């Protein structure tokens, strides 16, 4: 408990003890009044001050105002006990609420406990000093001992170990690393010390990016949250005026009918009405529900950038996916070299050099097949044409590496390949030089992932690819995908998504899932853009609304299920809180529920709603 919370707790205990004491004493008249004011001020002075400030600032209609008017009114009517008790319970409710919010914030912080405290910098002399991660420069060597968190992204220079990536990806199987492996910050080193050459500054490292993202997630408000704040703005004044009407109209009618006016009875009912109407349960439990949902999702390696995206995810009916890197591993194997006008080895060498600077999965694979690092000094004038390939000068010769579109763009007629697979054509100095046939592997769990999507209520799955038709259709058929569009340029992908958006019904949303390599425009065009396997890819983390930390396609359906559960909880809370309120308001107006019942209902609803909201944290079995 914080200091502030402890102070409120003390005030509650003192006021409660005083109240009990006063109830036991046989007091009457002015003395009774004066003595009851003591516990009243002990427990309520801050509320009274806030209410007064609200009136001075001409923004009176808030909870403090409701409580102040109701309790002052009760005391004026001689209902001292009730006046004090209402304040007391209100404060108990507030305390519980701030405690619950603090707890859930802390448990989310614990889930996201990836912030390193220090980095062990290895000096020239072999001396190790612990420094603030912020002070480590790019290219420094840091030492991470077993049990420690990797503070900064980099590459292992020595050591063989395994890493626990669970905090980042929710994946419990450790990842093996050795010299040369890229490692990302936030993972825990498990078995042996590692020396790592840092590749980024701390502020640019994965941990910092993720923490920023989670911390800012709650600033993007969902429709339900906006609804509640708009609701509270009209609701409280409406309740105040209704209370005024309840206090004045029935007595006036009674007077006109020649009966007793019963002013005090109706005034008391009006005050009860004010107590009941306090909207605390709604105001607190809805943001808390989203907060818990976002926290629960991040424990599974699913980062959702705002509660608005949770809402959109929950309504997803169409999922559009990129092929390479999303459904397939994006790690191609060279399965043949055909029609080459030079030695196979030479063709591969030129292609690998032309691709030296590209980050596309195809380029990585060609370089791997070539077998050694390309020599950068042999390459000049590199141009990468998104969705087509690369053109570069290697040893002074113009080498074009890419698909048939690229060949035609450089004025070369490509020769078709009869085998199924992705074909990488190569042209040298404007003459066709042959093609390299490469094939990709479908990811483990991709088929399951598509089935899980259909089960989660997605009605249409679409795959977009820049690859040739034969490959696209083959993959789609094996995975059970409903629609496939092949041979698309990045701009065509945007158009395809726009066409699908135009087709989708109101209230249904479309998600695009990509690996973040050249799909940023589509990611931002979809209702919700999901980037997958985004660890270490900044562009994707920035462009996407939802980031899946590892590249398991099953996480897509999981993200949808988590969002659905969270929204269900939020809606339950809205209906439950509004329902109980309306019931109590009716009972209060009819004089069937007194102020005691009112405050119990209020605090009770709030406690239940908060407990319900915290259920959204629990995502492990979804
Ligand atoms: P996908 O939609 O499958 O992710 P891309 O849009 O990234 O594919 O690329 C589409 C096609 O363009 C690839 O199948 C390939 O034929 C060609 N291509 C793109 N980049 C390169 C590259 N760097 N080297 C060779 N071919 C490339
Ligand atoms: Mg791609």
- Which domains, and CATH codes, for the chain? 119-148+152-204 (2.70.150.10), 330-442 (3.40.1110.10)
Q: Which residue minimizes the CA distance to atom 9 of ligand 1?
A: 387
pLDDT for res 622:
80
In three-state secondary structure terms, 457 is coil
pLDDT in tens, 576-592: 988 888 888 888 878 78
Mean pLDDT of 217-232: 72
Q: Which atom of ligand 1 is nearest to the CA of 384?
A: 23
37 pLDDT exceeds 60?
yes
For the CA atoms of the chain, what is the radius of gyration?
33
Residue 177 and residue 196: Cα distance in Å, rounded? 11
Cα-Cα-Cα-Cα torsion 218, 219, 221, 225, nearest 10 degrees, comes to 70
Nearest ligand for residue 328 CA: 1
In three-state secondary structure terms, 618 is coil
Token code pair at residue 494? 């945007």
Chain centre distance of CA 210 = 10
Q: Among the listed ranges 192-201, 205-214, 489-498, 505-514, which one has the minimum average pLDDT value? A: 205-214
Residue 406 and residue 417: Cα distance in Å, rounded? 16
Nearest ligand for residue 531 CA: 2
Backbone angles phi, psi at 221, to 5 degrees: -85, 145
Chain centre distance of CA 567 = 13
In three-state secondary structure terms, 516 is coil
Q: Which atom of ligand 1 is nearest to the CA of 328?
A: 3
482 pLDDT exceeds 80?
yes
Mean pLDDT of 353-358: 92
Return the top range by mean pLDDT from 10-19, 208-217, 416-425, 613-622.
10-19
Evaluate whether 448 touches 477 at the Cβ level (below 8 Å): no
Nearest ligand for residue 464 CA: 1
Backbone angles phi, psi at 28, to 5 degrees: -145, 165
Cα 363 to middle of ligand 2, angstroms: 12
72 pLDDT exceeds 70?
yes
Evaluate whether 509 touches 527 at the Cβ level (below 8 Å): yes
In three-state secondary structure terms, 466 is coil
In three-state secondary structure terms, 145 is coil
Q: Among the listed ranges 129-138, 297-306, 562-571, which one has the minimum average pLDDT value? A: 297-306
Cα 138 to middle of ligand 2, angstroms: 29
Mean pLDDT of 11-17: 94
Cβ < 6 Å from ligand 1: which residues?
322-324, 355, 358, 360, 362-363, 387-390, 401-403, 422, 424, 465-467, 490, 518
Residue 49 and residue 60: Cα distance in Å, rounded? 12
Cα 550 to middle of ligand 1, angstroms: 22
290 pLDDT exceeds 90?
no
Evaluate whether 461 touches 319 at the Cβ level (below 8 Å): yes
pLDDT for res 187:
86
Q: Which residue minimizes the CA distance to atom 16 of ligand 1?
A: 403
Q: Which residue minimizes the CA distance to atom 24 of ligand 1?
A: 389
Q: Which residue minimizes the CA distance to atom 20 of ligand 1?
A: 389
pLDDT for res 113:
66
226 pLDDT exceeds 80?
no
pLDDT for res 231:
75
Q: Among the listed ranges 16-25, 188-197, 334-343, which one has the minimum average pLDDT value? A: 334-343
In three-state secondary structure terms, 437 is strand
161 pLDDT exceeds 70?
yes
Residue spans of alpha helices (H) in 159-222: 166-169, 206-217
Residue 380 and residue 390: Cα distance in Å, rounded? 12
Evaluate whether 163 touches 178 at the Cβ level (below 8 Å): no
394 pLDDT exceeds 90?
yes
pLDDT for res 601:
78
What's the number of CA atoms in the CB half-sphere (13 Å) around residue 527? 25
C-alpha to C-alpha distances, 392 to 78, 367, 429, 489, nearest whole angstrom: 91, 15, 10, 20
Q: Which atom of ligand 1 is nearest to the CA of 517?
A: 7
Cα 605 to middle of ligand 2, angstroms: 49
Three-class DSSP labels, 158-175: ECCEEEECHHHHCCCCCE
DSSP conformation letters of 325-393: TTTB-S--EEEEEES-SS-HHHHHHHHHHHTTT--SHHHHHHHHHH-S---GGGEEEEEEETTTEEEEE
Mean pLDDT of 449-470: 94
pLDDT for res 259:
83
Q: Which atom of ligand 1 is nearest to the CA of 471?
A: 14
Mean pLDDT of 166-193: 84
User: What residues pair up with 529 in beta bridges, in sequence order?
Assistant: 512
Q: Which atom of ligand 1 is nearest to the CA of 515?
A: 4
pLDDT for res 389:
94
pLDDT mean across residues, the chain: 87
61 pLDDT exceeds 80?
no
111 pLDDT exceeds 60?
no
218 pLDDT exceeds 80?
no
387 pLDDT exceeds 90?
no
Residue 155 and residue 124: Cα distance in Å, rounded? 18
Best substitution site from 325, 361, 387 to test ligand 1's pocket, by max atoms within 8 Å of Cβ?
387
Residue 107's pLDDT band (boundaries 50, 70, 90)? Answer: low
pLDDT in tens, 532-555: 876 656 666 777 889 888 888 999
447 vs 82 pLDDT, higher one: 447
306 pLDDT exceeds 90?
no
Q: What percent of the chain shows pLDDT beyond 70?
A: 95
CA 477-482-487 angle, 5° bins:
70
229 pLDDT exceeds 80?
no
pLDDT for res 421:
85
Contacts 24+ apart (CB under 8 A), 1-5: 1/99, 2/102, 4/98, 5/95, 5/98, 5/99, 5/102
Residue spans of alpha helices (H) in 77-205: 80-111, 166-169
Residue spans of alpha helices (H) in 178-306: 206-217, 223-256, 263-277, 280-298
Mean pLDDT of 508-519: 85
Residue 366 and residue 426: Cα distance in Å, rounded? 12
Best substitution site from 402, 406, 420, 479 to test ligand 1's pocket, by max atoms within 8 Å of Cβ?
402
Spell out which residues have Cβ within 5 A of ligand 2, the ion. 322, 324
Three-class DSSP labels, 21-40: HHHHCCCCHHHHHHHHHHHH
Enter the pTM of the model.
0.78
Cα 435 to middle of ligand 2, angstroms: 21
pLDDT in tens, 493-505: 989 999 999 998 8
pLDDT for res 594:
79
Return the top range by mean pLDDT from 283-287, 372-376, 423-427.
423-427
pLDDT for res 49:
94
361 pLDDT exceeds 80?
yes
Cα 161 to middle of ligand 2, angstroms: 31
pLDDT in tens, 595-618: 777 777 778 888 888 889 889 888
Give the active site residues. 322
C-alpha to C-alpha distances, 528 to 18, 58, 338, 455, 562, nearest whole angstrom: 56, 41, 42, 19, 15
pLDDT in tens, 199-211: 999 888 887 877 7
pLDDT for res 104:
66
Evaluate whether 66 touches 240 at the Cβ level (below 8 Å): yes
173 pLDDT exceeds 80?
no
Closest CA to 514 of 464, 479, 456: 464
Q: What percent of the chain shows pLDDT beyond 90?
A: 41
Cα 246 to middle of ligand 1, angstroms: 71
Best substitution site from 347, 383, 403 to test ligand 1's pocket, by max atoms within 8 Å of Cβ?
403
Residue with tokens 């049990």: 147
Token code pair at residue 396? 């002074």
pLDDT for res 228:
72
539 vs 89 pLDDT, higher one: 89
Any idea how long the chain is? Answer: 622
478 vs 271 pLDDT, higher one: 478
pLDDT for res 313:
95
Q: Which residue minimizes the CA distance to atom 23 of ligand 1?
A: 389
Residue 280's pLDDT band (boundaries 50, 70, 90)? Answer: low
């Amino acid at each position: 408990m914080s200091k502030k919370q402890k102070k409120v707790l003390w005030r509650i205990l003192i006021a409660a003890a005083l109240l009990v004491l006063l109830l036991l004493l046989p007091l009457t008249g002015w003395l009774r009044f004066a003595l009851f004011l003591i516990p009243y001020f002990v427990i309520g002075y801050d509320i009274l001050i806030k209410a007064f400030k609200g009136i001075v600032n001409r923004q009176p209609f808030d909870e403090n105002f409701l409580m102040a008017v109701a309790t002052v009114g009760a005391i004026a009517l001689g209902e001292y006990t009730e006046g004090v008790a209402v304040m007391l319970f209100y404060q108990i409710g507030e305390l519980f609420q701030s405690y619950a919010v603090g707890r859930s914030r802390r448990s989310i912080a614990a889930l996201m406990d990836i912030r390193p405290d220090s980095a062990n910098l290895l000096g020239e002399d072999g001396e190790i000093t612990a420094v603030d991660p912020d002070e480590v420069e790019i290219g420094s060597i840091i030492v991470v001992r077993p049990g420690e968190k990797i503070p900064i992204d980099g590459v292992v220079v020595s050591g063989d170990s395994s890493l626990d990536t669970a905090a980042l990806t929710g994946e419990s199987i450790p990842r093996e690393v050795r010299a040369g492996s890229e490692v990302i910050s936030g993972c825990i080193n498990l078995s042996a010390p590692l020396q790592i050459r840092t590749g980024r500054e701390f502020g640019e490292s994965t941990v910092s990016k993720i923490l920023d993202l989670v911390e800012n997630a709650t600033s993007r408000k969902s429709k339900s949250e906006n609804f509640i704040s708009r609701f509270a703005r009209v609701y409280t004044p409406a309740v105040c005026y209704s209370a005024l009407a309840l206090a004045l109209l029935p007595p006036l009618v009674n007077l006109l009918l020649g009966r007793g006016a019963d002013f005090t009875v109706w005034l008391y009912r009006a005050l009860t009405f004010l107590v009941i109407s306090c909207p605390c349960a709604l105001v607190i439990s809805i943001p808390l529900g989203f907060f818990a949902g976002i926290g629960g999702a991040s424990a599974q390696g699913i980062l959702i950038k705002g509660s608005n995206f949770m809402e959109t995810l929950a309504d997803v009916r169409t999922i559009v996916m990129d092929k390479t890197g999303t459904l397939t591993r994006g790690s191609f194997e060279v399965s043949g070299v055909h029609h080459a006008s030079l030695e196979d080895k030479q063709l591969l060498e030129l292609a690998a050099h032309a691709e030296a600077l590209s980050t596309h999965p195809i380029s990585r694979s060609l370089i791997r097949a070539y077998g050694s690092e390309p020599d950068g000094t042999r390459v000049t004038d590199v141009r990468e044409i998104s969705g087509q390939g690369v053109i570069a000068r290697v040893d002074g010769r113009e080498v074009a590496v890419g698909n048939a579109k690229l060949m035609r763009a450089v004025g070369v007629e490509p020769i078709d390949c009869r085998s199924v697979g992705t074909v990488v054509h190569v042209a040298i100095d404007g003459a066709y030089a042959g093609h390299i046939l490469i094939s990709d592997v479908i990811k483990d769990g991709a088929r399951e992932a598509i089935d899980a999507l259909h089960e989660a209520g997605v009605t249409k799955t679409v795959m977009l690819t820049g690859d040739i038709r034969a490959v696209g259709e083959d993959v789609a058929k094996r995975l059970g995908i409903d629609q496939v569009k092949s041979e698309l340029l990045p701009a065509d992908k945007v158009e395809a998504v726009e066409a699908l958006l135009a087709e989708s019904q109101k209230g249904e949303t479309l998600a695009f899932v990509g690996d973040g390599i050249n799909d940023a425009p589509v990611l931002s065009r979809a209702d919700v853009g999901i980037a997958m396997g985004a660890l270490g890819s900044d562009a994707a983390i920035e462009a996407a609304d939802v980031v899946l930390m590892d590249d398991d396609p099953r996480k897509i359906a999981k993200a949808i299920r988590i969002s659905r559960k969270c929204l269900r909880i939020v809606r339950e809370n809205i209906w439950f809180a509004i329902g109980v309120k309306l019931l109590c308001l009716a009972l209060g107006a009819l004089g069937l529920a007194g102020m005691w019942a009112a405050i119990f209902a209020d605090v009770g609803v709030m406690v239940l709603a908060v407990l319900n909201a915290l259920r959204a944290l629990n995502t492990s079995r979804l």
